[in-house]
């Protein structure tokens, strides 16, 4: 399974091929739903539609995923087996909302980290990076108005936001900075989106949740003395500093 943990799983859907994706993927293709996220979800679950996409991007809220990235979604015909597809809620002529732009950047960054998809603009089916449905012309179904010029023009901002996410994490504060095993602490800093673990010295936090790119809540593991709190992400681990220290009491 290649399912993005930060997406809401909406599959399985009938309109896809099990396996068959060609790696390395060439890139991520932006689409427009010409409708709502809920309507698109219903359509993709209808066998008669013969269409699907890997991911969906509602105007508010988090990403949805309908098709495993190991499987071929039916989104852009000749480009189906080498491109990951992202449907965006709305109509041609719409711009992405701030939250949709952020979701698209997070997905592009994750695909860069896990599948080496380039964080650059693709303008033709032979390029790699962030493309759009219309660039494929007739071979991709002739969808000349998908996703529409405003979204095509927002790709540079998506790439820039994705590049920012793919940076080493930095811990700037731990609060409270003293306590005991079992306590919850709030870790603030930056580039936490793809966090996988939090270390208190050499011991991993017993629980952690990524609240957003700049905040993690973690549960203190057993330990003693003063330790560095280190956040590890898909990109790397935070460098230690005086700002990341936690002191055990009692
Ligand atoms: Zn499309």
Identify whether residues 143 and 242 lie together within a single domain.
no
Q: In the structure encoding, which two tokens stand for residue 202, read together?
A: 């050499």
Identify whether residues 29 and 148 lie together within a single domain.
yes
State the sign of the Cα–Cα–Cα–Cα dihedral 128, 132, 135, 138. Answer: positive
Cα(41) to centroid(ligand 1), Å? 15
pLDDT of residue 1: 63
Cα(88) to centroid(ligand 1), Å? 9
Domain end position, chosen among 97, 132, 165:
165
Identify whether residues 154 and 185 lie together within a single domain.
no
Identify whether residues 104 and 38 lie together within a single domain.
yes
Residue 104's domain is classified under what CATH number?
3.40.80.10
Identify whether residues 126 and 193 lie together within a single domain.
no
pLDDT of residue 239: 98
Cα(94) to centroid(ligand 1), Å? 14
Q: How many CB atoms lie within 10 A of CB 149?
A: 13
Distance CA 41, CA 45 (A): 6
Domain presence at residue 50? yes
Cα(213) to centroid(ligand 1), Å? 30
- For residue range 16-35, what is the model confidence (pLDDT) as tens digits? 999 999 999 999 999 999 99
Identify whether residues 104 and 186 lie together within a single domain.
no
Domain end position, chosen among 114, 131, 165:
165
Cα(79) to centroid(ligand 1), Å? 11
Distance CA 204, CA 3 (A): 25
Range of the domain at 149: 8-165
Identify whether residues 58 and 102 lie together within a single domain.
yes
Cα(56) to centroid(ligand 1), Å? 12
Domain count, the chain: 2
Asked whether the beta carbons of 40 and 143 are under 8 A apart, the reply is no
- For residue range 51-86, what is the model confidence (pLDDT) as tens digits? 999 999 999 999 999 999 999 999 999 999 999 999
Which stretches of the chain are assigned E, i.e. beta strand? 8-9, 16-20, 27-32, 55-57, 64-65, 71-73, 83-88, 129-132, 170-175, 178-179, 184-190, 195-200, 203-204, 207-212, 215-219, 226-233, 245-248
Low-confidence stretches of the chain (pLDDT beneath 70)? 1
CA-wise closest residue to 102 among 196, 193, 5: 193
| 3-state SS class at 25 | coil
Cα(146) to centroid(ligand 1), Å? 5
Domain presence at residue 114? yes
């Amino acid at each position: 399974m290649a399912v993005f943990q930060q997406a809401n799983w909406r599959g399985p859907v009938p309109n896809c091929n099990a396996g068959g994706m060609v790696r390395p993927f060439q890139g991520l293709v932006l689409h427009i739903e010409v409708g709502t996220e809920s309507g698109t979800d219903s359509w993709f679950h209808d066998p008669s539609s013969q269409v699907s996409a890997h991911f969906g991007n509602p105007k508010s809220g988090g990403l949805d995923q309908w098709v495993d990235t190991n499987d071929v979604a039916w989104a852009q015909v000749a480009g189906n087996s080498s491109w990951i597809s992202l449907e965006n809620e709305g109509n041609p002529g719409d711009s992405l909302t701030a939250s949709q732009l952020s979701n698209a950047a997070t997905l592009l960054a994750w695909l860069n980290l896990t599948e080496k998809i380039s964080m650059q603009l693709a303008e033709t089916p032979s390029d790699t990076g962030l493309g759009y449905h219309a660039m494929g012309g007739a071979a991709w179904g002739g969808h000349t108005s998908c996703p529409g010029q405003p979204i095509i023009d927002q790709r540079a901002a998506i790439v820039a936001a994705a590049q920012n996410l793919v940076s080493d994490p930095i811990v700037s504060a731990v609060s409270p900075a003293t306590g005991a095993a079992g306590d919850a602490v709030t870790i603030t800093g930056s580039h936490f989106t793809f966090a996988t673990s939090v270390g208190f010295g050499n011991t991993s936090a017993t629980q952690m949740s990524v609240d957003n790119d700049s905040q993690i809540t973690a549960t203190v593991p057993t330990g003693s003395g003063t330790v560095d709190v280190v956040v590890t992400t898909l990109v790397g681990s935070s460098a230690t500093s005086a700002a990341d220290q936690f002191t055990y009491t009692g």
